[in-house]
Structure 1
Amino acid sequence: MKHLQLLGALVILGSMSVQAQEHVKDYVQLSDPVVQTEDYRVFGDRFESGESVVSLDELISADSTFNEQAITTEGVISQVCKKKGCFFILNKEGTDRHARITFKDYGFFIPTNTAGSKVKLNGIFQVKELSEEKAKHYAKDSGDDPDKIKGPQKEYSVVATSVLIYK
């Protein structure tokens, strides 16, 4: 009788385990939002909304003016690091202009399932030249074909202190 009770308990626990596995997240979120509302989530520092927004087009067109300057910009996340959300690619809607967004002091990350989301962010704009090896590494992490990268690459980036992701 005790064996039947034990067997019954194991069957129940096993079915609960299978049900729990069906609800496993299909993304990675290593950082919790510092603010969360019905409309958005903020990662990193609290979002400073008092700054005027500079479009990604303007940042890239006047890159020497904005290089190493604190900025606020916005756009759409086109790609996210698939491993842990440690960077993303910001695109200006309707253009092929983009910038790599990393996070100050590697201090926070964004969820890996946020591609396609509209964002606004604060950070330091930078213009860099990436080695071919580094560019291939970034391409691999974002799911692109690293073999398409040939030679050093000019990269526009922002080291973000705060990222507001709209829901």
Structure 2
Amino acid sequence: MKKLLFPAALAFSVLLGNCAQNSEKPKATASLPPAKVKIYGDTLEAKGAIDAAELPKLLVNQDSAQAKVATKVLEVCQAKGCWMEVDVKGQNPMRVTFKNYGFFMPKDIVGKEVVFEGVALKDTVSVADQRHFAEDAVKSKEEIAAITAPKPSITFIATGVQVKE
């Protein structure tokens, strides 16, 4: 009986030793978990997105272009989240609306990184539309009254938006 107990105790201690070794923290080379994102509208992945500053180049010889864009949110419609303005480095911000008003953005995402997919369009925004957007953004009466001329721009109709949390 003593002869059987020793090998069993030895095997048990080897198993415990292996468990203790396996419970070590992962090495620094372990990959980090992916950033949390929320999707609005159609599902999309960030892979392959271009910087918003590249959009004007896509529209040099055409009035519209399919694109997937990555940038930062500057402003969101405070009435219901039906549009957002995004950063286009070195240029005027770009207004992004959502296809067929099929979805809206949270009103508190200013400063967050986004990726969106859809159609970029060369556009001219009328004085009436600019004033309407300024009202949605809760601008002052003075700022709204200062809008007096149509503005050439690029607008974007998104089918899906990914917001990095």
TM-score when scaled to structure 2? 0.70
CA contact (8 A) 1:123 1:162 kept: yes
1:138 partner SS: helix
State the 4+ residue runs in structure 1 displaced beyond 6 angstroms. none
Per-residue Cα deviation, 1:83-116 (whole angstroms, up to 9, x for no partner): 1100000113x54442100000110001011111
TM-score when scaled to structure 1? 0.70
Gaps of 5+ in 1: 1-36
Residue equivalent to 1:79: 75
2:80 partner SS: coil
Percentage of pairs with the same residue:
24
What code does the residue aligned with 1:149 have? Answer: I
User: Any residues of structure 2 matched to 1:124-163 within 5 Å, and which?
Assistant: 124-144=119-139, 145-163=143-161
Q: Deviation at 1:67?
A: 3.3
User: Any residues of structure 2 matched to 1:62-101 within 5 Å, and which?
Assistant: 62-65=58-61, 67-92=63-88, 95-101=90-96
User: Any residues of structure 2 matched to 1:52-67 within 5 Å, and which?
Assistant: 52-65=48-61, 67=63
Alignment counterpart, residue 44 of structure 2, candidates 43, 47, 58: 47
Which protein is bigger by CA-based radius of gyration? Answer: 2
Structure 2 CA distance for aligned equivalents of residues 126 and 115 of structure 1: 23
Q: Deviation at 1:134?
A: 1.2
CA contact (8 A) 1:59 1:66 kept: no
User: Any residues of structure 2 matched to 1:115-126 within 5 Å, and which?
Assistant: 115-126=110-121
Structure 2 CA distance for aligned equivalents of residues 59 and 97 of structure 1: 12
Gaps of 5+ in 2: 1-33
